[in-house]
Amino acid sequence: MSAISSPRNLGIFFAILATIIFSMHDAISKLLVMDHSVWFIMMVRYWFHLIVAIIWALMSKEGLAGAVRTPRPFLQILRGVLLVTEIALIIYSYSMLGLAEVTTIIMVHPLIVTGLAAVFLGEVVGWHRIGALVVGLLGLAIAMQPSGNIWGYGGFVALAATSSFALYQLFTRLASRHDTTLTSFFYAGLIGVIATTWPGLQMAPALSEMNFPLLAGACIFSTAAHFSVMKALSLTEASAIQPFTYMQIVWSIPIGFLVFGDLPIWSTILGAIMIVGAGLYAIHRSNR
């Protein structure tokens, strides 16, 4: 097997592909939220998610019964609620901020997870990673400073979304000790459908006002991005692909400019550089 087609390199390829697709999905979400309610967008996405999860379960060896079976149902419910909260807040923040600004704040979540894992999971975090966490949070403070584009209600909504996502990842680590990826994927869709269907139906626009191409695009891109992440993790270890997740900031800037005419200001760029640098250094120390 050539070096180019080795499992590790293919895994990195799918990880980078996921960041591109996620950036395109975020642009679609920002377009959708201009004319559709957050709850309706989420309802459509979650129903698509659940249908994919059911099909996956029926095609797997475990079957649908195996996907539903879990020794920690409360933990799975909590994960689902946190993910619903994160997605709702992040889509809402797109109505107030550009792609690059929101992505910059979201990229803080690996550092938050590092701190939470040390407190709640007992993971060993040395001074180097604590220093990286401090630098990353300083970068966040620069990006969100009062004279910048991120300062204000939208920035704090995105920060709340980041915190919810960090907690979601923390509880996903806990769930992975007891449940398969299929079970976690299924419950994320199930809880999302339960939480979003009623408000989504209440806020659904008339059929003539629905942007079906964008709604379909949001569902397809979201599923494709998550598939790319799972494919990457099936080919190589998480530590090999995690540094490439920061490339989403790189794609969000040109996509945001081409679609919306948005360009980040100096504080956002400097904060993003500090956050990415701190995150990469924390990953390096974790691997050591």
What digits encode the pLDDT tens for the residues 80-91?
Answer: 999 899 989 989
Give the structural domain span for 99.
7-287
Give 288: exposed, middle or buried? Use CB within 10 Å, 0-12, 13-18, 19+.
Answer: exposed
Q: Is the pLDDT of residue 278 over 80?
A: no
What's the confidence (pLDDT) of residue 240?
64
pLDDT of residue 201: 95
Count how many domains the chain has: 1
CB atoms < 10 A from the CB of 231, how many?
A: 16
- Decide if 15 contacts 236 (C-beta within 8 A): no
pLDDT of the residue at 125 = 61
> Please, what's the b/e burial string for 250-278 (b: 16 or more CB within 10 A of its CB; e: otherwise)?
bbbbebbeeeeebebeebbbbbbebbbeb
Q: How many CA atoms lie within 13 A of 190 on its CB side?
A: 17
- Residue 161: is its pLDDT beyond 80? yes
**2 lies in a domain?**
no
The reply to whether 283 falls in a domain is yes
How much is the pLDDT for 195? 95
The predicted pLDDT at position 44 comes to 94
pLDDT at 175 over 60: yes
User: What does the buried/exposed string (b/e) look like for 113-132 if buried means 16 or more CB atoms within 10 Å of the residue's CB?
Assistant: bbbbbbeeeeeebeeebeeb
Q: What is the pLDDT of residues 25-73, one digit of tens each?
A: 889 999 999 889 999 999 999 999 999 999 989 998 889 998 899 998 9
Contact 31, 214 (CB under 8 A): yes
> Does 1 map to a domain?
no
In angstroms, the CA 21 to CA 241 distance is 16
- Signed CA dihedral, 215, 82, 275, 122: sign only: negative
Nearest to 14 by CA among 266, 196, 178, 233: 233
Report how far residue 282's alpha carbon sits from residue 225's, in angstroms, rounded to the nearest whole number: 24
Report whether pLDDT(163) > 90: no
Mean pLDDT in residue range 7-26:
85
More confident call, 186 vs 123: 186
For 121, what's the count of Cα atoms within 13 Å in the CB-facing half-sphere? 19
Counting every residue, how long is the chain? Answer: 288
| Residue 247: predicted pLDDT | 79
**Residue 121's pLDDT is what?**
61
Query: Could you tell me where the DSSP H helices lie in the chain?
Result: 7-32, 38-59, 63-68, 73-94, 99-106, 109-120, 127-143, 153-176, 181-202, 212-235, 238-241, 247-260, 266-287
pLDDT above 90: percentage of residues in the chain: 27
Q: Quick check: is 75 in a domain? A: yes
- Region 91-104: what's the mean pLDDT? 84
What are 185-240's pLDDT values in tens digits?
899 899 999 999 999 999 999 888 899 999 999 999 988 887 787 677 667 765 56
- Asked if the model's pLDDT at residue 287 lies above 70, the reply is no
pLDDT at site 101: 82
The per-residue pLDDT for 97 is 83
* Residues in Cβ contact with 89 at an 8 Å cutoff, skipping those fewer than 6 apart: 157, 158, 160, 161, 164
Q: What is the pLDDT of residue 200?
A: 95
Q: Is residue 135 part of a domain?
A: yes
Q: Looking at 104-108, 193-197, 257-261, 284-288, which range is the least confident one? A: 284-288
Q: Which residue has the tokens 């500090």?
A: 274
Task: Supply the pLDDT for residue 170.
Answer: 79
- Tell whether 273 is covered by a domain: yes
pTM of the model: 0.80
Structure token digits, residue 115: 């701190």
Angle, to 10 degrees, between the axis of helix 181-202 and the axis of helix 73-94? Answer: 50
SS3 220: helix
Mean pLDDT, residues 7-30: 86
Structure tokens at 80: 């689902």
Only one residue has tokens 């992440």, namely 229
